Amino acid sequence: MNTTATREIVQFDNVGLRYGTDREVLSDVSFTLFPGSFYFLTGASGAGKTSLLKLLYLAQRPSRGMIRMFGTDAITLPRDRLPGFRRRFGVVFQDFRLVAHLSAFDNVALPLRVAGVAERDLAKPVADMLEWVGLTERMLAQPAQLSGGEQQRVAIARAVIHRPEMLIADEPTGNVDPEMAIKLLRLFEALNRLGTTVVVATHDVHLLKKVPESLIMRLDKGRLSDPTGALRYPPRPRPRASSPELEE
């Protein structure tokens, strides 16, 4: 472990989280995420998956414990440094969280615009990404005009458009048909092969088998278990894609 300590991109140590004065929804959570790995976070509904992901994408501070991200203490991180860290993530929210009055195109373009990418430079990547998720024809539609599956694909396209260092997805295949689920998973794998660390929260056990080299973390009533040794050992290096292009 010592040899890999400097490579860790996320480290949780005895992290606990409670909302208000309720009981802890996460207790004594300790794990390490290594760059370029593919993790599944599983657990029954209410096990704390979404809460753990919120801590991961810095939408929530823990009640106790220590969190380090990219070598920095994320708990004492000043507010003005949070945006820089958040731009290194891509997040697929369980409820999609698309901006209601923006078109599919503008929703997908949002991370690039926030990062200051010029308008002339974002049209093509956004169009390519929408084409990839099969929404070229719907790029001008607003979220309310899209089906649940289409909204989910827009949310995924928005999460990966800026090639994040870490992709965090909360039930990303929950509203799509099996064929699209596999397609999306292949996209995540392609990103992973390019070096993106992927964390996918899902309760779909069939999905876990689709990515053979993935590591599994299991949450049960707010406590983490480690069926694949993901939390004990650094993962084996995964083969990297030679081309920067995303391929199906």
Partner 1 sequence: MAFSLTPWRRQGRDAELLPEGRLSGPMPWVIAIMVALTVIAAAAGLAFSNTARNASDDLAGGVTVQIVDANAATRDAQAQAVVKALRATPGVIEATLVSQDEVDKLIEPWLGASASGDAGIPVPALVDARMRDGVTGETLGGLRQMLHKVAPAARVDAQSIWLKPVFGAIDTLRWLSLALVGLLGIALAAAVLLAVRNALGSNRDTIEIVHLLGGTDAQIARIFQRAIGYDAGIGGVVGLALGLVVVLLLGQQFAALGAGLVSSGALEWSDWLLLALIPVIGVVLAMLTARQTVVRALRKML
115 binds partner 1 (CB under 8 A): yes
32 vs 196, beta carbon nearer partner 1: 196
CB of 59 to partner 1, least distance (A): 6
In the β-sheet with 89-92, what is the strand arrangement from edge to edge?
Answer: 89-92, 166-170, 197-201, 38-43, 215-220, 223-225
Measured distance CA(25)–CA(46) in Å, rounded: 9
Q: Strands across the sheet with 10-17, in order?
A: 26-33, 10-17, 64-69, 72-73
Residue 64 in contact with partner 1, rule: CB under 8 A:
no
Residue 86 binds to partner 1 (criterion: CB under 8 A): yes
60 contributes a contact to partner 1 by CB under 8 A:
yes
Q: Which residues pair with 26 in a beta bridge?
A: 17
84 binds partner 1 (CB under 8 A): yes
- How many residues touch partner 1 under the rule CB under 8 A: the total is 27
CA 83 from chain centre, in angstroms, equals 16
Considering only residues 161-220, where is the footprint of partner 1 by CB under 8 A?
Answer: none
Q: Which stretch binds partner 1 (CB under 8 A): 53-61, 144-152, 173-181, 197-205?
A: 53-61
Q: Which distant-in-sequence residues (6+ apart) come within 8 Å of 6 by Cβ?
A: 71
Give contact residues for partner 1 (rule: CB under 8 A): 57-61, 79-80, 82-87, 91, 97, 99-102, 106, 110-111, 113-115, 119, 158
